[in-house]
Amino acid sequence: MRRDLSEVVPGFDWPTGIRLTHYRPELAADVHHLMALGYLDGGGRVPALEVWQQRFESDPEYDPTLCFVAQDAEGVVAVCQCWTSAYIKDLVVHPRARRLGLGRGLLLQAFGEFRKRREGFVDLKVLEDNLRARRLYESVGMYEVRRELVPD
């Protein structure tokens, strides 16, 4: 899916008790745990913490200011991991914090940051049958982009 960043990105009021920050190595275990929790229903998997952290932090498109982390008094409740190529790699919200708008807030935060960086679009991949996620993405102005396959 894609979001045209020439369009205005609305603001977002974070719920009381939610603090937005960026990824830091000391948050790795909590972020990794949330990522693994997010894939329990399918759609992928997360390697062991040490492997995940090394791959994440050494990726050429890694920028810690593009990994948005929402925390409450109990810890990490949502993560939006983006690459420098204006791509949203992962978006996960802890089950105990769903329905607070955190996914929406993180997406809008990412859109705003990429807009500041003068990107024209931001993209992500989503499974066709992940209707809950697709509805969220559409609600923030994303639309489906189909790949064109070149015939043999």
Mean pLDDT in residue range 76-98: 95
User: Binning pLDDT at 50, 70 and 90, where does residue 152 land?
Assistant: confident
In the prediction, which pLDDT does 140 show? 97
Q: What is the tens place of the pLDDT at every residue in 92-113?
A: 999 999 999 999 999 999 999 9
Residue 2 lies in a domain: no
Confidence of residue 73 (pLDDT cuts 50, 70, 90): very high
Position 84 in a domain: yes
Please tell me which residue, 152 or 75, carries the higher pLDDT value. Answer: 75
Write the pLDDT tens digit of every residue in 11-21. 999 999 999 99
In a domain, 145, yes or no: no
Distance (Å, whole) CA 41 – CA 104: 20
CA dist 116 and 151 (Å) reads: 38
Residue 26 lies in a domain: yes
Residue 45: predicted pLDDT = 84
Determine the pLDDT at residue 26: 96
pLDDT in tens, 129-145: 889 999 999 999 999 99
Domain-located, residue 151: no
Contact, 77 vs 102, CB < 8 A? Answer: yes
Specify the number of domains making up the chain: 1
In a domain, 4, yes or no: no
Assess if residue 138 is contained within a domain: no
- Residues above pLDDT 90, as percent of the chain: 84
- In degrees, rounded to 5, the angle at the alpha carbon of residue 47 between the alpha carbons of residues 45 and 53 is 125
- Dig out the tokens for 18 from the structure: 């939610």
CATH number at residue 69: 3.40.630.30
pLDDT tens-place string over residues 107-133: 999 999 999 999 999 999 998 888 999
Do 80 and 110 touch, CB atoms closer than 8 A?
yes
Question: Which residue range forms the structural domain that includes residue 69?
Answer: 11-118
Q: Is residue 126 in a domain?
A: no
